[in-house]
Homo-oligomer: A and B are copies of this chain.
């Protein structure tokens, strides 16, 4: 019997390494070799398990989206008023697990590749649709224009991420929360 069950471990390690490498490099131009080195394996193994560079990236992004989704569900579970639900969605976006340097820059990769990479585009649309739907639903009892508010908050969160990728604006979460309050309280 050979050493078994390494595949999920390696995939996991490589996804983690991808995000970390993007965060450390500061660039979107990370190489497969650098990712593999960080994961402690050869670049050949990365190709073996994922098939190619694009799929490594896609897999890393899928994981980020999964983590974000988990964060959202956890936050919503603890919220029992419409106001609390809307705040929970924002809190989730800026939770530690989602707001790590590597994660933020990975988002930029997603945006940068979406126009030319259908798989990335699909992931991005999925995220945007879900966030918008969640926000709209939470905001419905709080404002007569829930759609507009959701659209604004979604774009605002993206913009705050963009700026966070540069290491600035430490109070990103508060900006978003304030915008929410300004909109919902007359």
The chain A residues found within 8 Å of chain B, CB to CB, are 25-28, 105, 108, 111-116, 121, 124, 128, 148, 151-152, 154-163, 165-167, 169, 172, 175, 178-179, 182-183, 186
Contacts of A115 in B (CB 8 A): 26-27, 105, 165-167
Partner of A111, one of B108, B152, B156: B108
Judging by beta carbons under 8 Å apart, are A151 and B124 in contact? no
Partner of A162, one of B105, B111, B116, B178: B111
Contacts of A169 in B (CB 8 A): 151, 155
Partner of A178, one of B113, B124, B152, B163: B152
Judging by beta carbons under 8 Å apart, are A165 and B28 in contact? no
Q: Which residue of B lies closest to A28 (CB)?
A: B112
Contacts of A172 in B (CB 8 A): 155
Judging by beta carbons under 8 Å apart, are A121 and B175 in contact? no
A25 to B148, CA, bound (A): 31
Judging by beta carbons under 8 Å apart, are B155 and A163 in contact? yes
Contacts of A159 in B (CB 8 A): 154-162
Contacts of A108 in B (CB 8 A): 108, 111-112
Contacts of A155 in B (CB 8 A): 156, 159-160, 162-163, 169, 172, 175
